[in-house]
Amino acid sequence: MLKLVVVVKFKEGIDDPEGKSITHSLNLLGFENVKRVNVAKQYEIFVDADISKGREIGEKIVKKLLVNPVIHDYELRVEEI
Which residues in this chain contact other proteins in the complex, by CB under 8 A? 14-15, 17-18, 20-21, 64-66, 68-71
- Residue 15 or residue 32: which is nearer to other proteins going by CB? 15
Nearest approach, Cβ of 65 to other proteins (angstroms)?
5
In 3D space, the residue among 47, 33, 36 whose CA is nearest the CA of residue 79 turns out to be: 47
- Residue 34 or residue 66: which is nearer to other proteins going by CB? 66
> How far, in Å, CA of 36 to CA of 43, rounded?
23
- Residue 70 or residue 81: which is nearer to other proteins going by CB? 70
Q: Mention every residue, 6+ apart, whose C-beta is less than 8 A from residue 38.
A: 9, 10, 16, 19
